[in-house]
Amino acid sequence: MTKSLYIGSSSACFELENTAAYYSGKEYTVTLDGEEVFSGCENVFSLFGLSPETAYEAVIRTGETEEKVTFTTASESCCVSVRDFGARGDGKHEDTAAIQAAINMLPDGGRLVFPAGTYLTFPLSLRSHITIELEKDAVLLGSTERERYPIIPGVANGIPFAGFEGIEEDSYQSLLFGAYVSDIAVVGQGKIDGNGQNGDWWKEFRNFPAKRPRDIFLNRCEDITLHGITVCNSPSWHIHPYFSNRVSILNCLVSAPKISPNTDAIDPESCKDVDIIGCRFSVGDDCIAVKSGKIDMARKYKVPAENHTIRNCLMEFGHGALTLGSELSAGIKNVSVTQCLFRETDRGLRIKTRRGRGKDSIITEVLFDNILMDRVKTPIVINMWYNCVDPDAHSEYVWSREALPVDDRTPHLGHFRFRNMVCTGTEAAACYIDGLPESPIEKVELENIQFTYAEDAKPAVPAMMEFAKPQCRMGLYINNVGEISVSNVRLEGVDGEPLIAQNYETLTTKEFDA
């Protein structure tokens, strides 16, 4: 069966319903009203160049089987080209004023099209009820002149406008900046390129007068769709939904060099109802990091990250493929990560927190299911000793192994389920879970998982914490957890004890083989 994820006025996105991770396992072709328009083997595919308010019939053929899907595209009030407003798209002349004028003047329900070309621009402000379409070979290219990027206040007259890494801080305006807007779609086969490699964004950035911009920043927005586009080379995080609701990121590519600093792909922060489906990531930091702020911001707003669906995604080369934290002081609940493929990331499923995140830093209802990993150094990490980001990250309060008093700074991790996973080429450790002695993780379930170690495995630190030692072909390390359940788990090529469990209340093993 095939279901629709998004039907716009000029594009549509569909998902094959099966149990395979990212790839369907069989190549298929798609014809649209009798004309072949697409072939591939990914579980999520898109159609572009559609006409508004038009009925279509798509046929998906796999071998000798076929399925018909009918759909009707959405209506729109108008469609205009950015070139009608004077944008040149030659990559040399600055097009900021022309593009912003077009965005400002577009009627509600209108679509602004960027034809093929390179549109050199400074930051742009989005407005509600519009669609922006980047056609194939259209590039929205960020200028490298940092001094001309406006600085947006973290808070002005009590109104929040910007933030980064869990704190309301002044930030350079992002390339596409949305604040308090709704009903926006950015679609197409084109590219949003932050151009971070050609400016000074990736150099000495800790000495800048404000936090670096993102390619796309959405502050307190609603009903946002990003479909099909490529987002790349951001000065910092690529896509940052911030206190926003109903955000869909579908069949997008997010990329940056492995050496680029803090270039997370997507970091939804204190957001509700986020869908990230059919996307591919290759970046210099975490591929997806779900966040909910540091303790001061969490106390002020008390907005957790809630209802996130991550499915049929391919994540490559980042530090963590799917991360929760470390800024999660308002809590995270109801996160589902399924049918994903991870390749050559440092860590696979990564939860990171630390003392100081606070009593509202409660993580519950988290499911990781049906996931493939290849050459991931440590597939599963839950780390309550994370030693980065904060000024006191290396303090004794963070690293002390003594059971400290539980107070309003103490985080809490609940129930985590890891099941139906195949991990090949494991290097450092299969699983590294380390809770706090005063606040043990409630429950960890490992079910139907196979770990196979790389023959050429090299030592690496499984989790970022003080005094961490490199490991190589380590088995399951689980410390400070209330309930541990290990069922149908197999380790092939482990060195040393296959299961090192310490400071737990109950341990259940069934069909555990090493």
pLDDT at 502: 97
Alpha carbons within 13 A on the beta-carbon side of 459: 4
Nearest Cα to 233, choosing from 255, 264, 209? 255
- Encode 140-179: b = buried (16+ Cβ within 10 Å), e = exposed: bbbbbebeebeebebeeeeebbbbbbbbbebbbbbbbbbb
What does the pLDDT look like over 181-231, one tens digit per residue?
999 999 999 999 999 999 999 999 999 999 999 999 999 999 999 999 999
- Is 285 one of the annotated active-site residues of the chain? yes
pTM exceeds 0.85: yes
Question: Where do the domains of the chain lie?
Answer: 2-72, 76-285, 293-514
Label residue 64 by pLDDT band (50, 70, 90). confident
How many angstroms separate the CA atoms of 100 and 89, rounded? 14
Residue 437 has pLDDT above 90, yes or no: yes
Across 294-300, average pLDDT: 95
Asked if residues 400 and 437 have their Cβ atoms less than 8 Å apart, the reply is: no
- The distance from CA 471 to its chain's CA centroid, rounded to whole angstroms, is 27
Per-chain mean pLDDT for the chain: 97
CATH code matching the domain that covers 76-285, chosen among 2.160.20.10, 3.40.50.720, 3.40.1550.10, 1.10.357.10 = 2.160.20.10
Residue 514 confidence (pLDDT): 85
Percent of the chain with pLDDT over 90: 97
Output the six-digit token pair for 496. Answer: 């040393």
Query: Per residue in 86-129, pLDDT tens?
Result: 999 999 999 999 999 999 999 999 999 999 999 999 999 999 99
Query: From CA 464, how far away is CA 457, in angstroms rounded?
Result: 19
| pLDDT at residue 270 is higher than 90 | yes
Q: d(Cα 211, Cα 489) in Å, to the nearest integer?
A: 44
Residue-level pLDDT at 318: 84
Q: Nearest-CA neighbor of 309 among 348, 239, 366?
A: 366
8 A C-beta contact, residue 172 and residue 152: yes
Give me the percent of the chain exceeding a pLDDT of 70. 100
Residue 168 reports pLDDT greater than 90: yes
Q: For residue 267, what pLDDT is reported? A: 98
Beta carbons of 306 and 334 less than 8 angstroms apart: yes
261: tokens are 């600093």
Burial grade of 53 (CB within 10 A; 0-12, 13-18, 19 or more): exposed
pLDDT at position 490: 98
Q: pLDDT tens-digit profile of 368-391?
A: 999 999 999 999 999 999 998 888
Topology of 293-514 in CATH? Pectate Lyase C-like (2.160.20)
240, 308, 319, 412: which is the annotated catalytic residue? 319
The structural architecture, per CATH, of the domain 2-72 is: Sandwich (2.60)
- The answer to whether 76-285 and 293-514 have equal CATH topology is yes
Catalytic residue among 215, 285, 360, 369: 285
State the DSSP code for 75: P
Mean pLDDT of 14-40: 95
| Each residue's pLDDT tens digit, 306-318 | 999 999 999 999 8
Give catalytic status of residue 319 as yes or no. yes
Mean pLDDT of 393-409: 96
Give the Cα separation of 172 and 100 in Å (integer). 17
